[in-house]
Amino acid sequence: MSFFSRNKEKIIVTIIAIALILLIGFTSAERILLTKFERVLGNILSPIGKFTNSIGKNTSDFFKNVGEIGSLREENERLKSIISQLEEENRSFQDIIGKIDYLKNEAELKKTTKYNLIEAQITGKEPGNWYHRFTVDKGLKDGVKKGDTVIQGIQIDQNTIIEGIVGRVQDVGDNWSKIVAIVDENSSISFKILRTQDGGILTGNIERKITGYLFDDKADVIKGDKLFTAGLGGAYLKDIYIGEIESVLSDEEDLMKTIQIKAAVDFKKLHKVFIISN
Amino acid sequence: MTIFILLLVVLVNFILQSTILPYMPILGVVPNISLLVVITISLYKGRLYGGIIGIAIGLIQDILFSPIIGLNAFIFFFAGYLIGLIENKLIKDNTLIPILLSIIGTVYYNFAYYIFMFFLSHEIEFLSFAKDVLLIETVYNSVLIVPIYKMFSKIFAVPQIRFGSK
């Protein structure tokens, strides 16, 4: 008895040590006896752990965020540049989608045309809603000559793509040229009507419409007749599609028949044209 | 009062060690605040409290996170008990004492852990472990024990002086 009371502490420590080692031994091997007890304790302590864990995570996230402010700014810059890059890409894709009709026409035209075409990108236009006159990025070096006819691919029927007239080259520089569209008020063009072979002259006007008169005031023209260039005077090449008649106005006093033309080319949406070089 | 404070310490230590500290490791090493708390408490309160706190913290840690129960409890118990044995021979105002003890304690903890793991047939390369983890953890712990020691000196020492009771 005196041995126990004298060495009480040592005995307790030894017992605790042995108990803990036994615990280690049990739990490291087959865990049958203690699993139930452990589960109960875990059930009690886990919610506390969960709760404190969320607090701890938030707190540490805060500290982390404070520590990351420098890198955040950097990352922000990086992401911004990525976003602008993606937007740029997106724009170009949308551009392509928007141009899909034109691109289809262009490809078809290149296949079927009998002319020698120079592809030209429009680089500038005179201020205004319409492309009256514009500049393109091809010039003397590329074989463009003054007076050349400028066309674009036009879908005339369901599947036929033909050359539609845009205008002619007015001035030409080394690597640029100025083009006058047929809707320009200074531009005149001789035409013939496909169905009746009647001829006449078309001019652009200030209202951005093409009007013209027929040489023969008795000519039998109706709305929807198709007009092609006649090639008189050599200003434009022959047999290039212009458009259709929108309305016919008879003017008895002037002894002339005036017509209004709906041009085949959409002059508001020009961005690429072809120059016919001989 | 002391028991209440100790319970609070166990809980706060548990929260810190298990939730916040794993998110801010330095060079991939997490400091062992539990060990530092055990060392500090046994320095101030002696072997009885040191041992009890060591068992309590160790068991909680084992049950919740470790596959083997009793390992941390064993190590922490002996850390608390042995430091509590020599506690009255040390000058507690000197900050160098806890720093020294934390270095010894960290080495002891990792070495004991390694021995247990060895006998439980977990193969761990001790040399690479010592080089990569032990060294950094020792430095980390020896730095961290200073604020912990100061904090506990306020909790335990000041009321005793002010009220003159124990």
- For chains A and B, CB pairs below 8 A equal 71
Looking at residue A39, its amino acid is R
Q: With bands split at pLDDT 50, 70 and 90, how would you rate the model's confidence at A86?
A: very high
The answer to whether position B25 is within a domain reads no
Q: Does the pLDDT of residue B69 top 70, yes or no? A: yes
Report DSSP state, residue A155.
E
Task: Give the CATH H-level superfamily of domain A116-276.
Answer: Rod shape-determining protein MreC, domain 2 (2.40.10.350)
Q: Decide if A23 and B69 are in contact by the 8 Å CB cutoff.
A: yes
Alpha-carbon distance A75 to nearest alpha carbon in chain B (angstroms): 21
Q: Is B94 a member of any domain?
A: yes
How confident is the model over A226-238, as pLDDT tens digits?
Answer: 888 887 777 788 8
The residue segments making up the domain with residue B37 are: 30-154
| Contact call for B60 and A45, based on CB within 8 A | yes
For chain B, what's the residue count?
A: 166
**Interface probe, candidates B52, B63, B85, B119, chain A, greatest A C-beta count within 10 A:** B63
Count the alpha carbons within 13 Å of A145 in the hemisphere toward its beta carbon: 7
DSSP codes, A37-52: HHHHHHHHHHHHHHHH
pTM: 0.46
B46: left (phi over 0), alpha (psi -120 to 50) or beta: left
The better pLDDT of the pair A82, A157 is held by A82
Please name which of B67, B60, B61 lies closest in space to residue B30, comparing C-alpha atoms. Answer: B61
Chain-chain contact of A24 with B60 (C-beta, under 8 angstroms): no
Query: Does the CA dihedral B28-B33-B36-B38 come out positive or negative?
Result: negative
Quick: pLDDT tens for B14-39.
777 766 676 666 666 778 888 888 88
Query: Quick check: helix, strand or coil at residue B164?
Result: coil
Q: Mean of the pLDDT values across residues A53-65?
A: 61
Contacts of B67 in chain A (CB under 8 A): 27-28
Residue B114 is assigned to a structural domain of this protein? yes
Please give the structure tokens belonging to residue A223. 């709305």
Check A20 against B73: CB less than 8 A apart: yes
Q: Which residues of B touch A63 (CB under 8 A)?
A: 24
Has residue B164 been placed in a domain?
Answer: no
Tell me what pLDDT residue B147 has: 87
pLDDT digits (tens, 9 = 90+) for A135-189: 788 888 888 888 888 888 777 766 677 788 888 888 788 888 888 888 776 677 8
Per-residue pLDDT for A18 more than 80?
yes
In a domain, B8, yes or no: no
Query: What pLDDT is attached to residue A101?
Result: 75
Residue of B13, B19, B64 to mutate for A, most A C-beta atoms under 10 A:
B19
| Amino acid residing at A180 | V
C-beta neighbour count of A127 within 10 angstroms: 6
Q: How many domains does chain B have?
A: 1
Is B146 contained in some domain? yes
pLDDT at B166: 45
Q: A71 near A64, Cβ under 8 Å?
A: no
**Which residues on B lie below 8 Å from A28 (Cβ)?**
67-68, 120
